[in-house]
């Protein structure tokens, strides 16, 4: 065992032998050590100086290779800030960080007072919105990294009821359309903040006055890479409205409500992970069958409600206007992670990923966040076109799950190269690999660490077992 520069215990994983896997491993370990705070990992020291929800889930997936105990703590720190209604807030604020370092800051959200009736904790300040539920999958992968340590610490047993409460909040309080799917009530909840998918429903929102807030993100990031001032004004107005209603989720109260395919796909993936966790716990309080039935039911609702056979893609649904949104984003490909997809749907998604709209294996090195052929595509501006490592990590898993091993191998190789050459950028131009956003980004480091070690393990097993084993995914 060694000590990181921060003083945290970090176990040494087997370093990859191949290039660029070894460079990705060394760089990722440096980034994750540098962004560790002692109890969690910030996405970026300057731009994102607090703990973010789905970031921590992806970070834990990579950290499990360095220190399973530290990966467990990453998730435990996040869930210590869970609200009593089950929601996991998208930001947990560090009280040692100055208010002006990030906006919206704790004094904007006022969670402990404005959210007290909704069950916000009194001991820590958080935001009031959520992010996609990747956490059960992360918890299961972290447990598998060292089941003995996990069992000794009671990791799954302590986290399981919290994960279940998180799922139930989303499937019950957030079923605003009444069709079984969770709805997001703010673009930030999708994790894909300024996707063109939100342009139409956002157009109904009167933006907050530009002089009423200061965008701290522009103090650390390039304006061309960030959401516009108009979008940001609408984000602020929506968040203010939610806060002033006490973060209430009663149907009919939200001015923005959209069923997002990526959010719901990850909700379903979490039910599969919870089934695995329940089986591992092996007691009457945790029934795997319930989670599997719920995953099947949610998958059916996802296909029935959001699948477009014409587009070969899942589309968002505007709950308030009761209509599908025609914009084609990478969120519509994310259901590839689901094992229960109808075979013809999975095949169509694979064709769409490699077709002209997303260009994988052609003009695009990595899957762009938005349709390459659409006029809204922008290779630099946040979620309107750049390729993100978390989305591509999910798609790499989905391709492998549905038998597209060569495409998954090629995407993995591109991700490793892009991470190293961009200095672990937040996101990159999908066609050139040019770095965009901040650098030394934690989930980029964590996920390429996972890919680097999986790639090396796959090669080792292929060498031992011969060509028949070469395509088997290890992660």
CA distance 347 to 472: 19
Q: What is the DSSP letter of 356?
A: T
Do residues 453 and 68 make contact, with C-beta atoms less than 8 angstroms apart? Answer: no
259 DSSP β-pair partners: 317
First vs last C-alpha separation in the chain: 23
Dihedral class, residue 206 (left if φ above 0, else alpha if ψ from -120 to 50, else beta): beta
Query: Which run of H or of E encompasses 10?
Result: strand 9-10
Residue 245: half-sphere exposure toward Cβ, Cα within 13 Å: 17
What's the chain's length in residues? Answer: 475
Q: 282: alpha, beta or left, given left = phi > 0 and alpha = psi -120 to 50? A: left
Q: Which helix (H) or strand (E) holds 243?
A: helix 229-244
DSSP calls for 294-330: HHHHHHHHHHHHHEETTTTEE--EETTTTEE----BG
| Other beta carbons less than 10 A from residue 472's beta carbon | 13
Which residues belong to the active site? 193, 426
Tokens of 42: 């910030």
How far from chain centre, in Å, is Cα 210?
A: 29
Encoding tokens for residue 6?
Answer: 């921060």
Tokens 């894909």 belong to: 192
Residue 155, by phi and psi: left (phi above 0), alpha (psi -120 to 50) or beta?
Answer: alpha
Q: Which of helix, strand or coil describes residue 272?
A: helix
How far does Cα 44 stand from its chain's mean position?
A: 16
Other beta carbons less than 10 A from residue 150's beta carbon:
24
Q: Is the dihedral of CA 159, 295, 315, 414 positive or negative?
A: positive
Residue 351's H or E segment, with its range, is helix 343-354
Q: 19, exposed or middle or buried, with CB in 10 Å at 0-12, 13-18, 19+?
A: exposed
């Amino acid at each position: 065992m060694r000590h990181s520069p921060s003083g945290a215990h970090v176990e040494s994983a087997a370093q990859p032998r191949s290039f660029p896997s070894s460079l990705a491993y060394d760089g990722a370990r440096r980034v994750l050590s540098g962004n560790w705070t002692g109890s969690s990992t910030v996405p970026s020291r300057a731009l994102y100086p607090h703990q973010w929800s789905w970031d921590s889930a992806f970070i834990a997936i990579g950290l499990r290779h360095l220190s399973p105990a530290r990966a467990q703590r990453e998730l435990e720190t996040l869930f210590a800030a869970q609200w009593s209604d089950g929601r996991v807030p998208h930001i947990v604020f560090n009280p040692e960080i100055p208010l002006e370092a990030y906006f919206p800051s704790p004094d904007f959200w006022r969670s402990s007072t404005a959210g007290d009736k909704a069950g916000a904790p009194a001991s820590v300040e958080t935001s009031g919105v959520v992010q996609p539920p990747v956490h059960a999958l992360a918890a299961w992968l972290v447990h598998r990294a060292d089941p003995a340590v996990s069992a000794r610490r009671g990791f799954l047993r302590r986290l399981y009821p919290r994960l279940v409460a998180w799922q139930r909040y989303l499937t019950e309080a957030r079923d605003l359309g009444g069709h079984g799917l969770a709805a997001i009530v703010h673009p930030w909840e999708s994790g894909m903040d300024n996707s063109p998918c939100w342009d139409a429903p956002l157009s109904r929102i009167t933006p907050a006055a530009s002089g009423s807030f200061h965008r701290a993100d522009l103090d650390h990031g390039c304006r061309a890479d960030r959401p516009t001032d108009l979008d940001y004004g609408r984000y602020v107005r929506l968040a203010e409205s939610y806060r002033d209603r006490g973060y209430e989720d009663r149907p009919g109260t939200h001015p923005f409500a959209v069923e997002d395919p990526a959010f719901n796909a990850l909700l379903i993936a979490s039910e599969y992970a919870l089934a695995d966790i329940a089986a591992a716990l092996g007691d009457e309080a945790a029934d795997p069958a319930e989670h599997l039935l719920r995953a099947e039911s949610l998958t059916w609702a996802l296909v029935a409600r959001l699948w477009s056979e014409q587009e070969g893609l899942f589309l968002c649904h505007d709950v308030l206007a009761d209509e599908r949104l025609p914009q084609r984003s990478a969120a519509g490909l994310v259901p590839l992670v689901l094992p229960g997809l109808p075979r013809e749907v999975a095949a169509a998604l694979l064709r769409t990923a490699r077709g002209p709209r997303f260009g994988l294996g052609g003009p695009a090195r990595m899957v762009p966040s938005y349709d390459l052929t659409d006029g809204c595509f922008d290779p630099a501006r946040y979620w309107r076109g750049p390729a993100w490592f978390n989305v591509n990590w999910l798609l790499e898993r989905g391709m492998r799950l549905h038998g597209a091993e060569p495409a998954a191998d090629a995407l993995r190789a591109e991700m490793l190269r892009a991470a190293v050459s961009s200095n672990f950028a937040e996101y990159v131009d999908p066609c050139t690999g040019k770095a965009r956003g901040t650098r030394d980004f934690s989930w980029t480091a964590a996920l390429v660490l996972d890919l680097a070690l999986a790639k090396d393990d796959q090669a080792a097993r292929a060498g031992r077992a011969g060509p028949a084993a070469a395509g088997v995914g290890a992660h």
